[in-house]
Structure 1
Amino acid sequence: MSRIVYVNGDYLPEQEAKVSIFDRGFLMADAVYEVTAVLGGKLTDFDGHAARLERSLGELGMKMPMTRDELLDIHRELVSRNDLVDGGIYLQITRGAPNDRDFAFPPADTPQTVVLFTQSKPGLANSPAAKKGIKVISIDDLRWGRRDIKTVQLLYPSMGKMMALAAGADDAWMVEDGKVTEGTSNNAYIVKDGKIITRELSHDILHGITRAAVLRYAKEAQMTVEERAFTVEEAQAADEAFITSASAFVMPVVEIDGAAIGDGTPGRVASRLREIYLEESIKAAI
């Protein structure tokens, strides 16, 4: 059965969905996106993703094309029409499609392009990778300076992912000025002597919605959190490490640049945080 997708107010079979060749998301990466996880047919952390979407749009001088309630209705309609149980909903909003290509922004009244589609991932919460952990490599962070805006400029993170796969790893952690910024599509953490260490919020990293929830749950569980940058060498000497994202939730990292972290197996802190996050997210899903 064909997926039903949403394009500019219409629900269509994916084969019938079309976007203009002049769309600035296609020509200029002039667009933002969000991915909301779906567990048991319900949306997790929707309000956080909606709030970040509004912020990203505002930072690029774009307006929110609909109310948050309308956006929620579209998400729920797509879940229903596609019988989605576990997976996610991808949302992209662009500055629109003027009549021709131009570096200058189009008139402010140019209609924005709004696209949403589902991705089915049965058993998303029971990923085998969470039981064995993932391996990462370090690469130079060559992205633009506003990583806090969730734009569709994902070429370099895609290249980083391919560098990792070519090296026999699962992902890459990007490094700038000797310190880890984040993964290709996730926030990065280490644990040392029971303390969770992760880079502080700034323009240097994406303000992860899962990151915010996990740190909140960690503090509620009386875990110590220190928000600061760390080096690859610190990571290699850590007791454990992990990443967070909307689709990976909390994922243990067991190796970086060929060096085992801790005993080379998922650590106690990461495993417990994954349990807490999934439990609380499923409970609060809408």
Structure 2
Amino acid sequence: MSTVFLNGTYMPVEEAKISPLDRGFLFGDGIYEVIPSYFGQMVGFEGHINRMNDGLKAIGIELNWSENQWHRLCEELSNKNGAGPLGIYLHVSRGADNKRFHAFPKHIEPTVFAMAFEIPIPKQPDLATVGKGYALTSTEDLRWQRCQIKSTALLGNVLHFQQGYEAGSHEVLLYNRQHELTEASASNIFIVKDGVIATSVQDNQILPGITRRLVIDILTEHGALTVEERTITLNEVRNADEIWITSSSKEIAPVTLLDGSPVGDGKVGPVWLKAATLYSKYKFNY
């Protein structure tokens, strides 16, 4: 039985109750984060909380929690759930009104919910044991135009992910109408060509991924690797030597198949090995 946090109280998950009039339930009107925590040590905590605060501000939810309050909540939730390898899920909705109405209601309290769930311990990067890599399907990005907001309204992402799942893929690579790379349904994307690493420029088409940011910073500071943030065409993606997907749960995952065709030589590449090794070494420093 896991312990969750709801509006100031820790309780068994079976006892947690939220009003059906909560706007998070009715409209997906909220912001969320998932912070990886390994035996009490969190990865990218400050970045996650800053992104949450940016999201709350962007949609007009007022919640005056300090970074220390969030840190104490995450620590307590981790301890109450065994303090092992956990994903700490934080969720803030606008709260519950007494009716369903599209406009933002006044004088209601936000709903704050948090839970922990088990995540695998990342393996030490090794070309001999990493396996075949991920398989991706590509499709046009049909989500909304404010993907920089980590909204709880994830139906667009879910539909894209399901499309890939039904095709037997692990993820879906997305591109805009100009056939320019955006991201994946639940990950950011990096490509490698001739030793140069590139990822899409940060704008409203992609989520400002915390792992994405950590990868850029770590590789630049510790790996002497060239990382470009720029517009990437779909043709460049299809001709890349390596493709990676990054997220808090996947860290840096190599992709070896795109739309059924091999990426590069079809094997996990050496630049991925260097990047994943550096990320594993320095991820707790940020």
Q: Is the 8 A contact 1:41 1:85 kept in 2?
A: yes
- Taking structure 1 as reference, are residues 168 and 117 closer, same or farther at Cα in structure 2, changes over 3 Å only? same
The one-letter amino acid of 2:175's match is V
Structure 1 residue runs of 4 or more that deviate by more than 6 Å after TM superposition: none
- Counterparts of 1:1-80 in structure 2, within 5 Å, are 2-80=1-79
Q: Is the 8 A contact 1:138 1:232 kept in 2?
A: no
The one-letter amino acid of 1:101's match is R
Deviation, structure 1 residue 84? 3.0
Deviation, structure 1 residue 231? 2.7
Cα deviation digits, residues 61-89 of structure 1 (max 9, x gap): 11234211011101000100000311211
The one-letter amino acid of 1:77's match is E
- Number of equivalent positions: 282
Q: Is the 8 A contact 2:32 2:89 kept in 1?
A: yes
Matched, 1:191 2:189: no
Matched, 1:134 2:134: yes
Deviation, structure 1 residue 185? 0.9
Deviation, structure 1 residue 163? 1.2
Matched, 1:111 2:109: yes
How far, CA to CA, are the matches of 1:58 and 1:204 in structure 2?
18
Q: Is the 8 A contact 1:242 1:252 kept in 2?
A: yes
The one-letter amino acid of 2:104's match is F
Q: Is the 8 A contact 1:84 1:118 kept in 2?
A: no
Q: Is the 8 A contact 1:25 1:31 kept in 2?
A: yes
Please name the residue that 1:98 is paired with. Answer: 97
For residue 5 of structure 2, give the secondary structure of its aligned residue in structure 1.
strand
Q: Is the 8 A contact 2:125 2:277 kept in 1?
A: no
Cα deviation digits, residues 128-154 of structure 1 (max 9, x gap): 995431010111211111100110121
Q: CA RMSD in A?
A: 1.7
Select between 191-200 and 63-72 the one with higher mean Cα deviation. 63-72
Please name the residue that 1:245 is paired with. Answer: 247
Q: Is the 8 A contact 2:4 2:113 kept in 1?
A: yes
Please name the residue that 1:206 is paired with. Answer: 207
The equivalent position to 2:232 in structure 1, one of 227, 230, 233, is 230
For residue 273 of structure 2, give the secondary structure of its aligned residue in structure 1.
helix
Cα deviation digits, residues 177-233 of structure 1 (max 9, x gap): 211210111111110011111100111111111111100111121111121222333
Please name the residue that 2:118 is paired with. Answer: 120
TM-score by length of 1: 0.94
Cα deviation digits, residues 24-57 of structure 1 (max 9, x gap): 1110111000000012332111001011111011
Percent identity, aligned pairs only?
35
For residue 38 of structure 1, give the secondary structure of its aligned residue in structure 2.
strand
How far, CA to CA, are the matches of 1:230 and 1:258 in structure 2?
21
The one-letter amino acid of 2:183's match is E
- Taking structure 1 as reference, are residues 122 and 210 closer, same or farther at Cα in structure 2, changes over 3 Å only? closer
Deviation, structure 1 residue 123? 2.4
Please name the residue that 1:163 is paired with. Answer: 163
Deviation, structure 1 residue 59? 0.7
The equivalent position to 1:279 in structure 2, one of 263, 278, 281, is 281
- Counterparts of 1:248-259 in structure 2, within 5 Å, are 248-259=250-261
The one-letter amino acid of 2:263's match is I
